[in-house]
Amino acid sequence: MTPERPTEWFDDDRFWRELSGFIFSDARFAGAQREVEQLLALAKPAGRDVLDLCCGPGRCSIPLALQGYKVTGVDRTGFLLDQARDRARQAGVAIEWVQQDMRDFVRPGSYDLALNLFTSFGYFNDQQEDVAVLRNICRSLKPGGTCLIDVAGKEFLARIFQPTTSHVLEDGSLLVERHEIIDGWSRIRNEWILIRDTDVHRFRFHHTIYSGQELKDRMAEAGFHEIRLYGNLSGDEYGLAAERLVAAGRKPI
């Protein structure tokens, strides 16, 4: 049974629908094949069962399936899973799609590799819910299986932070992003203003920002060991030049 929870920003399908063209741009999709090659080289899964938690429109699930991996893609957003299904059909691959909240999905001892990619972690107001997600991932892995998380790290954000940024999207819309660091550097609050011709849409969302050490500690609390941090999916060190915070941890045998 699904527990009753307060509605949060990520429960708003309009957010994903209106912004999907930006979040999942053609360029972002084009980079997925390379990301998958890199993450496989980094994680070296012992078998072919992969969980893509918060898979969105299947950006990485599909290239993984094309390489012969047996993928379960889990996401709460039905609209994005519909896109994933269409794309998988076009690519000619079979993937299991599950519409479920990441706090609820658990399938004990089933996967060699569990992925949570492209800043899909840290969304909950209560950080213990992030740990609960990590515990579910750990339970869902086979003994010795690997969990790989890819987010924007706190150290990176501190280095590049600008209160306002803007982008012209592929369809010519203007996206203005406003960012605020809140709660003593534990969370970031964003306001994205999408301007399309004379239409203006505003989206507000916020999430926890983890430092390398904080993410490592949460993963250890959830039962992982041999936790390593990297500055990107190619496995470069988590140092001053890090562009991402990639954490890989193993479920004990």
Ligand X SMILES: C[S@@+](CC[C@H](N)C(=O)[O-])C[C@H]1O[C@@H](n2cnc3c(N)ncnc32)[C@H](O)[C@@H]1O
Which residue, 144 or 190, has its beta carbon nearer to ligand X?
A: 190
From candidates 62, 80, 95, 242, binder to ligand X by CB under 6 A: 80
Read off the DSSP letter of residue 10: G
- By Cβ distance, which residue is nearest to ligand X? 56
| Min separation Cβ 158 and ligand X, Å | 21
234 token code pair: 């190619």
Q: Which residue type is seen at 102?
A: M
Looking at beta carbons only, is 102 or 245 nearer to ligand X? 102
Residue 122 phi, psi dihedral angles, 5° rounding: 95, 15
- What is the C-alpha separation between 147 and 227, in angstroms, rounded? 9
Per the structure block, which two tokens stand in for 182? 């809140």
Residues numbered 121 to 150 that lie near ligand X (CB under 6 A) are 123
* Nearest-approach distance from CB 223 to ligand X, in angstroms: 20
- Where do we find the tokens 């741009």? 25
| Of 87, 90, 56, residue with least CA distance to 74 | 56
**Between 24 and 238, CB nearer to ligand X:** 24
Total residues contacting ligand X by CB under 6 A comes to: 19
**Least CB distance to ligand X at residue 2 (A):** 11
Among 50, 103, 96, 99, residue whose Cα is nearest residue 76: 99
The minimum distance between CB 62 and ligand X, in angstroms, equals 11
Contact 186, 209 (CB under 8 A): yes
Q: Are 161 and 179 in contact (CB under 8 A)?
A: yes
Q: Which stretch binds ligand X (CB under 6 A): 52-60, 141-149, 181-189, 218-226?
A: 52-60
CA distance 167 to 177: 8
- The Cβ of residue 223 has, within 10 Å, a number of other Cβ atoms equal to 17
* 120 is a contact residue toward ligand X (CB under 6 A): yes
Interface with ligand X includes 77 (CB under 6 A)? yes
Site string for ligand X, 100-119 (x = CB under 6 A): -xx--------------xxx
Q: Taking contact as CB under 6 A, which single stretch among the options 73-81, 137-145, 191-199, 222-230 is the one that binds ligand X?
A: 73-81
In the complex, which residues of this chain contact ligand X (CB under 6 A)?
10, 16, 23, 54-56, 59-60, 75-77, 80, 101-102, 117-120, 123
